[in-house]
Structure 1
Amino acid sequence: MNWNVEPNTRQRFFQTSDSRTHTTNEINMVQLRVVLADDHPFVRLGVRSAVSAHADIVIAGESANPTSLIELLQKVRCDVLVTDLSMPEADGTIDDGMRLVRRIRCDWPALRIVVLTSLASPVIARSILLDGAVSLLNKAGSMDELVSAIRSASAGHVHISQSILAALTEVDGVPPVSLSTRCLSPRETEVVGMFVRGRSVSEIARVLGRDIRTVSRQKRIAMAKLGVDNDPALFAYVRVHGTV
């Protein structure tokens, strides 16, 4: 996230977070347990401070390298992992960040993952997003976006930073994978296909001769099946997995 802020700004942010008064409903709600992994202490501090302003999210543990992260996940229950993609080990060696993500997805398949990265490679972004349980955020993004991504991930949705989405849309050449393999009905597939090709919901309804509420519902159900919660994420999903 964008941690390059003036000292006074950081101080005001921390004071606001620490002095927040939580309502009774907030205190009684079920909290999302988040594990945070990043080798930069100030990044962890910034994320921790941002999360502390929200009563429904709690940091269950922190890690500074891949090995300690695996050990932490074996001991601590969590709902969402927020992790850097390229963390060095304690001895300074750097392993493939994608290998770490794949191992975590294999060992903890129910765990939702939000990857923070400053890497701009569309190839890496595609590789990460091919797993429907992984969200992807640019470290230059806002803290509010991170909180939103954590909540979306916990609900089973995928959140993608706009800058990463823009990079994805500039690259071609990925072998297509039919959306129909993700259990969309023929009508849902038809609606999604027309929508990502530029037609509005009202235009789709007119072309297909359906009620606009029916088309809107079919689009909403299709997005839920694909694990995306907004239109940019739907466009990115289609871009990564292929067209219909």
Structure 2
Amino acid sequence: MIRVVLADDEPVVRFGVRAVLGTAGDIEVVAEAEHGGDALDLVARHRPDVAVLDIRMPVLDGLDAANRIRERYPDTRTLVLTTFAEDAYISRALGEGAAGFVLKTGDPQEIISGVRAVATGGAFLSPLVARRVVDQLSRAHPRPLAKQRIEVLTAREREVLGLVGAGLSNAEIAARIHVVEGTVKVYVSTILRQLGVRNRVQAAIVAHEAGIIPA
């Protein structure tokens, strides 16, 4: 069972997200918070697999909470809830501790998929969020630049990068390309170093920008 702490300052949003996650069968919301400070306390108390955090919250916003959770409780992964009006937050979040982003107004199944992906060590980007970020980045950096960046990778590393961009965990990637999980960890570490990115989410953005996500 994937254990979740849910934080949002709007009770109706928490109710909706909890209801969606309750349909999954393998996800349990163990505690709820109204702001990021409470979320930190609940993560410390329950040590959940995933913290689902709204971006805009009083006392401590979702991105600051995600960063502190990453530093203090690295076994808890974070999934951020966002809206289309928060492009600046999404851009900032690429350097923070969040492992995934989903739209509050998107397909409810994406929240379930996002929780499952980050709980198993993957990175998850709602397709609409990914497209928004890629469009934003493309205005500053033309798409060919992303393709040039990945030229330093081997064909196998590009394949792994595409699977990271699709939200797969190391174990899932290992099963897909028929290698042991330790080999995938080496690939991912090499990819992050070669691309000069800090985490899987940033790598996933490069994969989306370069157009190498598998169908």
Q: TM-score range by the shorter chain?
A: 0.5 to 0.7
Structure 1 residues 77, 235: CA separation in 2 closer, same or farther (over 3 Å shift)? closer
**C-alpha deviations, 1:119-160, integer Å up to 9, x for none?**
544443233234575100111112211111111111111111
Using the TM superposition, give the Cα deviation of residue 191 of structure 1 relative to its aligned residue in structure 2, in angstroms.
5.3
1:53-132 matches, cutoff 5 A: 53-89=23-59, 95-130=60-95
**C-alpha deviations, 1:91-132, integer Å up to 9, x for none?**
xxxx55432221111111221111001254444323323457
Larger of the two Rg values belongs to structure = 1
Structure 1 residues 59, 124: CA separation in 2 closer, same or farther (over 3 Å shift)? same
**1:171 aligned counterpart, secondary structure:** helix
Using the TM superposition, give the Cα deviation of residue 222 of structure 1 relative to its aligned residue in structure 2, in angstroms.
6.7
Q: Which runs of 5+ in 2 are unaligned?
A: 163-175, 190-201
1:177-216 matches, cutoff 5 A: 186-189=154-157
1:1-244 matches, cutoff 5 A: 31-89=1-59, 95-130=60-95, 134-172=99-137, 173=140, 186-189=154-157, 217=177, 226=188, 236-238=205-207
Structure 1 residues 76, 122: CA separation in 2 closer, same or farther (over 3 Å shift)? same
Structure 1 residues 237, 126: CA separation in 2 closer, same or farther (over 3 Å shift)? farther
Q: Is the 8 A contact 1:168 1:239 kept in 2?
A: no
Letter in 2 for 1:217: I
Structure 1 residues 160, 85: CA separation in 2 closer, same or farther (over 3 Å shift)? same
TM-score scaled to structure 1, two decimals? 0.59
Using the TM superposition, give the Cα deviation of residue 44 of structure 1 relative to its aligned residue in structure 2, in angstroms.
0.9
Q: Is the 8 A contact 1:132 1:158 kept in 2?
A: no
Using the TM superposition, give the Cα deviation of residue 54 of structure 1 relative to its aligned residue in structure 2, in angstroms.
2.5
Using the TM superposition, give the Cα deviation of residue 236 of structure 1 relative to its aligned residue in structure 2, in angstroms.
2.4
Using the TM superposition, give the Cα deviation of residue 47 of structure 1 relative to its aligned residue in structure 2, in angstroms.
1.4
Q: Which runs of 5+ in 1 are unaligned?
A: 1-30, 90-94, 196-215, 228-232
Q: Percent identity?
A: 26
**C-alpha deviations, 1:58-107, integer Å up to 9, x for none?**
11111011221111111112101111011113xxxxx5543222111111
Using the TM superposition, give the Cα deviation of residue 239 of structure 1 relative to its aligned residue in structure 2, in angstroms.
5.7
- Find runs of 4+ consecutive structure 1 residues off by over 4 angstroms: 190-193, 221-227
How many residues are aligned here? 178
